[in-house]
Amino acid sequence: MDFQKIWGTIKSGVKVFWQWLKPYLIQFHHWRKRIWKKYYVNKILLLLGLVFVLVSSIYLYTLAKASNVSALKSGMTQTTKIYDAKGEEAGSIYANKGTYVELDQISPYIQDAVISTEDRNFYNHHGYDIKGIARAAVRMVTSGGTSGGGGSTITQQLAKNAFLSLDQTFQRKAKELFMAIEIEKKYSKEEILTMYLNNAYFGNGVWGVQDAARKYFGVDANQVTIGQAATIAGMLKGPSIYNPIDHPNYATDRRATVLSVMVENKKITQEEADQETKVDMASMVHDTYQNSSSDYRYPYYFDAVIDEAVNTYKLDEKDIMNNGYKIYTTLNQDYQKQMEATYQNEALFPPNAADGAMVQSASVALDPKTGGVVGLVGKRGEHVFRGFNFATQMRRSPGSTIKPLSVYAPALESGYKPDSVLKDEPQTYYDAKNYDGTYQGEVPMYQAVAQSLNLPAVWLLHEIGLQKGYDKAEEFGLSLSKSDNYWGLALGGLEHGESPLTMASAYSAFANGGKQYTPHLITKIVDSEGVVLVDNTKVKSKQVVSKDTADEMTSMLLGTFSNGTGVQANPYGYTVAGKTGTTETNFDATKANDQWIVGYTPDVVISTWMGFEESSADHYIEGTSGSVVGQVFKAQAEGILQYTNNTSFAVADAYQTGGQVVAADEVNNQEDSSDKWKEDVSDFGEKAKEGIKDFGGKVKDGLDKAGNKLKGFWNDLTGG
């Protein structure tokens, strides 16, 4: 760069600017002379300037203090871990950090090369370099903005990498400066250099000098040659451009530059630099780096944990990934493993569409007693880090699974009973029909629920009032739009729809005596120094419906799996309650866009959805919910329920009682009494048979005796 030429350009520009500004300054000077003394404008302007500087300094100082500089080192040396509901380690977060090594494990050549090129006054300043800032200011002026960068010390770069974004703005530069001062107060120069070298990025997914040495030269960081050290240091300026694997020519030129600077700073001799410059870069490259698994064991569950930390608790993803947090969750690893095993079984899912599109599905398992998500699978196919999660982010029409929420629960609250008779016939105010196209005229509520009949649901919503159904669905946590306030609300025809997580949460009220807890995955987050950042151990709950209403609803929903649309999905050996749901395509009522099934016991709620990512004339599902998505639900439930307490339902299946709400143990006792009566009748019959047999024997004996006497009397008369 020709500095004289640049300086001449600056002088010419300043001269032109001055000629333009001078007349205005003269006018301002005359105006100032007239009123200056009267209004003390000079003092006011000076005071305003000082106030601005003071306020800015206080803001930046406060920001630096709030950055938790004290946890910087511990965060770098520790990995963020996720713990399950039992407090056992479940895995670790995928982090942008490499193998952390102490300074004595890093070659002095690397240290000298980095200090020479990045911050030659590193050991003499207090986090900032006035000369460097001045040089950067000149570059900013000549480039017309902040894009020129530079002027940052190693401490400032560490602050930027650890706490700030990479954008080149005056605000970021100011924050960087104040944070660097705080870092210098807390750590020694050796600690700062160690953290910087372990936290720097070197391209090809490699962080830190130890992994960089392994990736590019096949040696540890304490074994590199001078030339290799210069190459590693050179990559800091642009890891994607100057790494020797992708761009060996650029890396060679950059190495020569670093070596010359090291000579200038008297870290090596010219002879050493010349010798290293002659070494062919390609001949040095040897990749022995092995990316240690991050143990991202349950990818979709962990994705949802990060999403909740970012969206609900406003934590920064970068901090979560890199600062060595301990994240405690509601995860049940036994449940999660069973769910993931189900989703690995391709035989449970329909084949791909003709164009290769995969049928998607997602499931959530939730503890109704706490609202904690105990298991979650967000998608089929290849996992993409924090990609779209159907279990938590999807919004699709829930179909008939909405009926208990928007129709039957509010109807029960309005005085209806499971054995109440409903109209099962077409209505003039809304065009609807049952799945099979038939209707019966009248049907008891518990059968309408189990058989998922549409016409009785629409009629009943009309009877109790549309607004009552709409309000109750919102109480259950459904995110309805104003356009959803119509009769189609009875059948799940929503503008946007819901996720499996939302539906699992809604049904948890039926499983938990009408009480619903806020659904969540995180219970606590602790930073690397033990400071509690998030405490969600006391989760809020609300009484959505009464216990009596929840019991009445459960008695009907048990019929779904015993006599209704979910018979094929009933997990073998277990009793569950719940509801199926389907949304039809707009071209064929026998084909579905979405299939749902939500099932529960007092211990767990499982919500499963299936459908294509984009529904179309070529992307649809054939078959009923019970026979298609129901098989995924069934497999999961059979796997999960074996690990639960197998808590029994408090009420009996309405099909057993003709719609009467009866305690489960009473029905069992009645069954036992009936069996005893049968045994008593059998015993009585046997005893009666024995009595008759005994009576007949006695009669026979009596007749024999009488016959013998008559026979003797006759012989006496005849002399025989």
> Quick check: 386 and 639 in contact, CB under 8 A?
no
359-366 and 326-329 as β-strands: parallel, antiparallel, unpaired? Answer: unpaired
Asked whether 303 and 389 are in contact (CB, 8 A), the reply is yes
How far is 689 from 704, CA to CA, in rounded Å? 22
Amino acid letter, residue 118: E
Integer Rg of the chain from CA: 40
* Strands annotated E in 65-109: 81-83, 89-92
Active-site residue identified among 400, 406, 452, 615: 400
For residue 716, with 0-12 CB atoms within 10 Å meaning exposed, 13-18 middle and 19 or more buried, which class applies? exposed
CB 236 within 8 A of CB 117: yes
Number of H helices, E strands in the chain: 27, 15
Q: Where are the beta strands (DSSP E) in 479-540?
A: 515-517, 522-526, 532-535
Q: Is 227 exposed, middle or buried (0-12, 13-18, 19+ CB in 10 A)?
A: buried
Euclidean distance between CA atoms 439 and 454, whole angstroms: 10
From CA 506, how far away is CA 215, in angstroms rounded? 51
Q: Where are the beta strands (DSSP E) in 297-429?
A: 326-329, 359-366, 373-377, 421-424
State the DSSP code for 407. Answer: I
400 is catalytic: yes
Asked if 559 and 580 count as a contact pair (C-beta separation under 8 A), the reply is no
| Virtual torsion, Cα 695, 701, 703, 704, nearest 10 deg | 160
Q: What are phi and psi of 586, to 5 degrees?
A: -85, 5
Distance set, CA 21 to CA 17, 82, 304, 405 (Å): 6, 63, 59, 73
Out of 92, 107, 118, 184, pick the active-site residue: 118
CA dihedral 187, 190, 193, 196 (to 10 degrees): -50
Q: Is 118 a catalytic residue?
A: yes
How far is C-alpha 520 from the geometric centre of its chain's CA atoms?
9
Cα 461 to Cα 511: distance, rounded to the nearest angstrom: 23
**Host H or E run for residue 176:** helix 170-186
Contact 372, 520 (CB under 8 A): yes
Give 625's DSSP letter.
Answer: T
Q: Which residues contact 379 (CB under 8 A, 6 or more apart)?
A: 300, 360, 361, 362, 387, 388, 389, 390, 391
User: What whole-number distance in Å separates Cα of residue 403 and Cα of residue 260?
Assistant: 76
Mode of pairing for the β-strands spanning 81-83 and 326-329: parallel
CA distance 551 to 663: 9
* 517 and 370 Cβ atoms separated by less than 8 Å: yes
**Which sequence positions are flagged as catalytic?**
118, 400
